[in-house]
Amino acid sequence: MVDTFKSIDLFAGAGGLSCGLQKAGFHPIFAAEINKTYAATYEQNHPGIFVAKKDIRDLSNDEVLDVTGLHPGDLDLLAGGPPCQGFSINAPIRSLDDQRNHLFKEYLRIAKVLMPKVLIIENVPGIISLGKGTVVKAIYEELDHMGYSVQHKILFAGHYGVPQMRFRTVFIAARDRGDVFFPTPEYNSTARANFFGAKELCFDVANFVDQPLKPQTSTWDAISDLPALRPGECVDVGSYGGPPLSGYQHMLREGSERLYNHACAKLGRCNLDRLKYIPQGGSWRDIPYDLLPAGLKRARRSDHTKRYGRLHPDQMCSTILTKCDPHWGSFFHPTQDRAISVREAARIQSFPDHYIFTGNLTEQFEQVGNAVPPLMAAAIGKSIKRMIS
């Protein structure tokens, strides 16, 4: 069956959002991404799709219409995630003066030209409180002026089968003030949400006890079939060495006969010595005091809970970051004395194994960490198809 739903992805990155929307039945016809390496990954995995490799401020309305052949009102879905560094609760400065926080206005500029049936804006949870809510208010006012009904929620990736404690703020708007639907939890997964708006905007699985929720996906469900590596080793275009060991692995290996991007960073002698003391689910607290980095020697035991953490096979992974550096989170392999590989991070993000990341190792981790988990994007896409239908 040929896809009949057309989508455009702005601020596309490596294409996690497009990957998931495709799984839901949307066909991308145009993407925009300023980073040339990320754009190359998008092109690698979405052959034939035009990617505008430029700053969105230099992307003209006419170019979008000419390349796609669309007329205003034709497009089913406009999706995008304006850069979130300025919005993040982890950013050292969170200010409306940060120019990155105004790129959502460029997204709305293109939306006014295309007038899609539905549009998505996704970002980090920190966007909710930025400027004491003025960014959220501005998005609502602009979309209301355009004739859209809009709602937003903070979605948890674990609710959609992703083995990761990751939250994203998602705005969904429907043209002609239509109904807005969000995907409800499919998996019985929970995580501590300690950011502003969590109680009001996140789904609580306790409210879905009458529905047959699936067990949450664990770290081991995601990566246990991948070959062992030594620190700094790379297995690219290699063999799996065995069959999938879980339904999740079977799903992500579909369409892939070879293993790509299974490469991890080197570790210094200090980290190799620290690893010997860190059990599954453990962290920096398990490292002898004399082996701790200077900063952690001064830390309180209640601080930096995930730093130098070793993943527990039966639990979910902490949020995959643009640097899977153990200094910043729980990124040591559950059973091997090394950090996780790009492919393992991609598995935890729910990318299919046939999805190939270009660039050097640092760039590959950045692309994986910045992406919307495809399984979460697919769940959103299914809800949007209901809205359009």
Token pair, residue 26, equals: 């949307």
The CA distance from 351 to 4, in Å, is 23
The CA distance from 162 to 191, in Å, is 12
Smallest CA-to-CA distance from 153 within 94, 111, 193 is with 193
Question: Helix/strand/coil (H, E, C) string of 274-285?
Answer: HHCCCCCCCCHH
The CA distance from 221 to 333, in Å, is 13
Instruction: Read off φ and ψ for residue 77, nearest 5 degrees.
Output: -145, 130
Give me the sign of the Cα torsion angle 224, 228, 230, 235: negative
Q: Is 19 assigned a catalytic role? A: no
Token pair, residue 160, equals: 């959609």
Token pair, residue 192, equals: 């501590």
Please tell me the number of Cα atoms within 13 Å of 178 on its side-chain side.
Answer: 17
CA distances from 3 to 10, 22, 25, 29, 186 (A): 20, 9, 6, 11, 24
Residue 81, Cα to own-chain centre: how many angstroms?
A: 10
Catalytic residue among 19, 84, 202, 264: 84
Supply the residues annotated as catalytic. Answer: 84
